Amino acid sequence: MDPIRTRSKNDLKPIYCSNPLEENKNLGVEIEKSILKVIRSGNYILGKNVEHLEEYFARYIGSPYCIAVANGTDALSLSLTAMGIGKKDEVITVSHTAIATIAGIEITGAKAVLVDINKTNFTIDTSKIEAAITSRTKAIVVVHLYGHAAQIKKIKFLCEKHNLKLIEDVSQAHGAKYEGKFLGSIGDVGCFSCYPTKNLGACGDAGLITTKTKNLSNKIKMLRQYGWVNRVSQIAGQNSRMDEIQAAILIIKLKKLKEHNFDRNKIANFYRNNLSKTPLELPIEESGCTHVYHQYVVKTKHRDKLKSFLEKSLIFPGIHYSLPVHKHPAYLNKILISGRLTNTELVSNQILSLPIYPGLEEKKCARVVNEIYKFFGM
C-alpha cells in the first residue's frame, strides 16, 4: 500500500488550492531587503522601482509600453476609458470570468455584453461573437482563462473586420504564449492583475497594462493620476498609482516567472500522468499555445461530492467560478446577454481547481491523486 495512504490525518498538513505564502518563502530574504530599501529611500509612490518594472515588463511581454496601476480592475477600466469607450457603448466578453472583468467594463459606463464559452478551455466561443455585435459595440475583452490563451487570432480578425478595439485580460496567464507571442502583446492593450495568487503576484494589489501605442500609453499614465500634466489636470482622471514596495516585489517575482511557470507545468504533468485513467475530464493544451496553469481545472458531474471528500482529508481545491457573473445579485437581469450561455452554466456546476502553485511538493500532489482515486473507488 502507498505509505501516504497509511498516514494519520493528524500527521497531514492542509494543502490549499493556491499558497502565495509558500511561494514567497523561497524569496523571503530578497523581498524583505527590497522592502527595507524602499522604506529607507523615502520615495513610496511612482518612483524608480515603478519605472524599472514598467520597462522590464514591457521588454518581457514584447510591447513597447507598460503602465503600472493599482490593480487589474483599474487596468481594464483605464484602458477602455483611454480608448474613448464609455456611456452607451457595448463591450463583448464572457460571464465565466472573475467579477473584475465585468466591473472594469461597467465602471466606464459602458455595458458588458456576455457570450458563451467553448467546451475545451472555457474561453470565449468565437463562433458566437458576430451575433453579439451591434452598432454600439466598441470592443472585445478576451479573457485568457486559467493560464491558457483564448483563440486570439480569430478574435483579432473579427475586431479588424468590425473596427473594434481588442483588450486582452491576461490576469490569469502571465507568461503564456500564442503562436510564439506572449499574451498581452497581441491586442490593442493587455491588462494584468498582479494580485498575490497570480502567476506574477505582488504582496498586495497591483496591475499592469501593456500597449503598442505611445499616445494610448501617455493617456493611461495621465488617467491613473488625476489626468495630470505637471500636476495640472488636463483630463478627468483618478487615483490608480502603484506603490514602490509592490513594484520592487514584482521586479523580483518577474525574474522568477519563467521558473515558477515551469514548476506549475511540472505539477500539471504529474496530475495528467496520474489522473488520466480517472473519470475526471482533464485540461488540454491546444496547438500553438503554451499553458502556464494559473489553475489546474478538472471537470466532473460529481464535483461537489469530490470537493467535500477532499476537504475531509485536508485538501482544499477551489472553484473558479461557481457562479457565472450574470447570476450574481448585482447583475441579475441587469446585464446584456447574447444568445444562451449553455456551456457557461454547465461548467459552473462541474469545474474544480486542484492545488497548484510553485513550491507544491510532489508528495502533496500524490496525496491529492490518492484521495481522488479513493473517491472513485480505484
CATH class of 3-23+256-375: alpha beta
Across the chain, what does the average pLDDT equal? Answer: 95
Confidence at 109, pLDDT banded by 50, 70, 90: very high
pTM, two decimals, is 0.95
28-255: CATH, from 1.20.1560.10, 3.40.640.10, 1.10.10.1100, 3.40.1390.10:
3.40.640.10
Asked whether 54 and 67 are in contact (CB, 8 A), the reply is: yes
First-to-last C-alpha distance (Å) of the chain? 13
Share of the chain above pLDDT 90, in %: 94
Residue 55 has pLDDT above 80, yes or no: yes
Measured distance CA(257)–CA(241) in Å, rounded = 23
Residue 212 has pLDDT above 60, yes or no: yes
Residue 7 has pLDDT above 70, yes or no: no
The DSSP annotation for 271-339 comes to HHHHHTTSSPBPP---TTEE---SSEEEE-TTHHHHHHHHHHTTEE-B-TTSS-GGGSTTTTTTSEE-S
Cα→Cα distances 355→47, 171, 297, 364, Å = 36, 18, 9, 9
Measured distance CA(253)–CA(23) in Å, rounded = 10
pLDDT at 11: 62
With 0-12 / 13-18 / 19 or more C-beta atoms within 10 angstroms meaning exposed / middle / buried, residue 88 is exposed
217-241 pLDDT per residue, tens: 999 999 999 999 999 999 999 999 9
Q: Are strands 181-182 and 165-169 parallel, antiparallel or unpaired?
A: unpaired
Give me Rg for the CA atoms of the chain.
21
| Backbone phi and psi for residue 111, each to the nearest 5 degrees, phi listed first | -105, 130
141-197 pLDDT per residue, tens: 999 999 999 999 999 999 999 999 999 999 999 999 999 999 999 999 999 999 999
pLDDT at 26: 87
User: What is the chain's length?
Assistant: 378
Measured distance CA(375)–CA(378) in Å, rounded = 8
Hey, which residues does 94 pair with through a beta bridge?
115
| Backbone phi and psi for residue 347, each to the nearest 5 degrees, phi listed first | -70, -25
Residues 6+ apart with CB under 8 A from 279: 300, 376
Measured distance CA(203)–CA(31) in Å, rounded = 10
Measured distance CA(204)–CA(195) in Å, rounded = 6
With 0-12 / 13-18 / 19 or more C-beta atoms within 10 angstroms meaning exposed / middle / buried, residue 135 is exposed
Q: Give me the residue spans of the domains in the chain.
A: 3-23+256-375, 28-255
Asked whether 71 and 272 are in contact (CB, 8 A), the reply is: no
